[in-house]
Amino acid sequence: MQDRQAIRYISHAEHETLALGETLASYLVPPMTVALFGPLGSGKTVFVRGIARGLGIARVRSPSFLLMLKYEGREHALYHLDLYRLEQWEELVHLGVLEVFEYGLVAVEWADRILDLLPPDRIEVHLAFQNQGRKISLLGTGPRSGQIVQALVDRINPRLQSRNP
């Protein structure tokens, strides 16, 4: 059963969050959506910068005012959404965002704003403050995302695998 695989990770510094995003990127094949959840300053953009670095994208801007930015990577493009300022989900229809979910690699900050519109098979990244660091949970919610999270589990901490029934 590959569905709903989960991994929990403690990041002690920004570079560790970047590295986790970069490692995740090596498993991403379109279409796939990475949905990021967590409060202001919890590290969502840092994680997206890690994904971008893994895809060969040097610079990530903040799409807050544009809602969506596209970066060209070595093999794949990355669509970066930041929904903090989203007022109505209909805005996303005008931007063509719903189609992007069907064919692209997409990273969505403030994904809770469009929970019902997210692809059912997605990678969820939940970030929370923990002391000086961050607690990061990754969850695969379907067969494809579950396989990716399982691959990460195998790579990052093989001992977790045996504890996963």
| The dihedral sign for the CA sequence 87, 89, 95, 98 | positive
- Does position 134 interact with ligand ATP (CB under 6 A)? The reply is yes
Closest CA to 3 of 102, 125, 119, 144: 144
> Which residue in the set 33, 35, 44, 57 belongs to the binding site for Mg ion (CB under 5 A)?
44
Stretch that binds ligand ATP, among 38-46, 52-60, 65-73, 141-149 (CB under 6 A): 38-46
Q: Which parts of 15-34 interact with ligand ATP (CB under 6 A)?
A: 16-17
160 class by beta-carbon count within 10 Å (0-12 exposed, 13-18 middle, 19+ buried): middle
Count of residues that interact with ligand ATP, criterion CB under 6 A: 16
Q: Please provide the size of the chain in residues.
A: 165
What backbone phi and psi angles, to 5 degrees, belong to 95? Answer: -80, -5
Count of residues that interact with Mg ion, criterion CB under 5 A: 3
Q: How far is the CB of 121 from ligand ATP (least distance, A)?
A: 24
| Spatial contact of 100 and 94, defined as CB atoms under 8 Å apart | no
Residue placing its CB nearer to ligand ATP in the complex, 43 or 146: 43
Catalog residues that contact ligand ATP under the rule CB under 6 A. 11, 13-14, 16-17, 38, 40-46, 109, 133-134
